[in-house]
Amino acid sequence: MSAENRLQIIQGDICQLDVDAIVNAANSSLLGGGGVDGAIHRAAGPELVNECRDLHGCKTGNAKITAGYNLPARHVIHTVGPVWDGGVYDEDALLLSCYRRSCELMREHQLSSIAFPCVSTGIYGFPIERACRIALGELLAQLSAHASIERIICCCFSRYDHEIYDRTLEELRDNNAAE
């Protein structure tokens, strides 16, 4: 199957997805927070933060894996996106690295399906259109390069984000067709 057919864009709560791994948009302590991080910890139960304590944090742009506990997902991949600060502090490269490292971890653990939230675009303030182009570009590249990845879901929380993802995917498709 082509890369595009293995990429799905949905609107919903990532905590409800039955996949090998969901990605958490965490902070560098990995000890929980608000937004999707808070929702994942609440749904997974207290054992998740116990395992996270043993990970001793995570650098921006990197990712670490735990079990999923009470979630339908078997694992949680915790990644730390950059805080948006005008785009001149390597935010683009750090965000791309979140997606890349999460896919690398997934492959290292022989997982075949993964769901991502819109990392950094909530509390961390990364502009959604720009983040979306980075996310979709990298995820399509990962799918093309690695046949072992069966399914990637971009799980948008709002209808607004969902529309941006759909439109951006369309643009990327048109650009590829024109090349």
**Chain contacts with ligand AR6 (rule: CB under 6 A):** 13-15, 25-27, 33-37, 39, 81, 117-124, 155, 157-158, 161
DSSP run (H or E) holding 98: helix 91-108
CB of 129 to ligand AR6, least distance (A): 13
Burial of 95 (0-12, 13-18, 19+ CB in 10 A): buried
Closer residue to ligand AR6, CB minimum distance, 38 or 67: 38
**Block residue for tokens 């653990």:** 109
Q: What angle do CA 68, 74, 76 make, to 5 degrees?
A: 50
Which lies closer to ligand AR6 via its Cβ, residue 124 or residue 176? 124
Between 20 and 91, CB nearer to ligand AR6: 91
Q: Report the nearest approach of ligand AR6 to the CB of residue 39 (Å).
A: 4
Nearest approach in angstroms of CB 1 to ligand AR6 is 25
Choose between 143 and 155: whose C-beta lies nearer to ligand AR6.
155
**Contact 139/99 with Cβ under 8 angstroms?**
yes
Shortest reach from residue 99's CB to ligand AR6, in Å: 12
Phi-psi region of 43 (alpha: psi -120 to 50; beta: other; left: phi over 0): alpha
Of the candidates 2, 27, 23, the residue with the CA atom closest to the CA atom of residue 154: 23
Tell me how far, at minimum, the Cβ of 34 lies from ligand AR6, in Å.
4
Cβ distance to ligand AR6 smaller for residue 106 or 135: 135
> Residue 81: CA atoms inside 13 Å, Cβ hemisphere, count?
28
